[in-house]
Amino acid sequence: MNTSRQLRAFKRAPSLELSKWENGNLTTNLAEKTDTKGAFLLMECTLAPGTEPPPHVHSREDELFYVLDGEFDVYVGEEVFKVKTGECVFLPKFEPHAFVIRSTQLRVLALFQSSGAGRSVSRHEFAGATSRPSHRNAHLFHRGCESDRETAQ
């Protein structure tokens, strides 16, 4: 059965009811799991430098960030992407990743796509507080972030 036929069309704008301040960051749900039957979650996020989550790995969802304003460095496995306004970066599941915000603030659209069979994604999984550090590859991120910070100074 095609579940997309069960979905309803909707229009939404950012609102206080759909927004949450957490750790100095503002997140606003634009498409929630109830809207998409758990297929994806779309958020607008305004993030401050120094509030980045620790290096982590997602085992059940892919992420895509489109930068509305600002820039950040994204570490995925052994790759480094410098991402700025008008660009996007894709982070596949099972790839350890971290990021460092390089501007005074970072505004992104964040799309979280569930890739687990029958599993839905929820807002709380992407709030940063539930990030799971990847101890196996954490040294790669710390080394990369520190050397990048030294170079930037």
Instruction: Render the burial of 18-42: b for 16+ CB within 10 Å, e for the rest.
Output: beeeeeebbbbbbbbbebbebebbb
Q: What is the pLDDT of residues 127-147, one digit of tens each?
A: 433 333 333 333 334 434 443
Q: What is the pLDDT of residues 96-120, one digit of tens each?
A: 999 999 999 999 999 999 865 444 4
- 66: β partners: 88, 109
Q: Given this model, what pLDDT does residue 35 score? A: 86
Domain 17-152, CATH: 2.60.120.10
Locate the domains of the chain by residue range: 17-152
Instruction: Tokens for 76, please give them.
Output: 């995925």
Under 8 Å between Cβ of 85 and 69: yes
Residues 6+ apart with CB under 8 A from 47: 25, 101, 105, 106, 107, 108
Report how far apart, in Å, the C-alpha atoms of 36 and of each of 17, 53, 150 are: 18, 26, 43
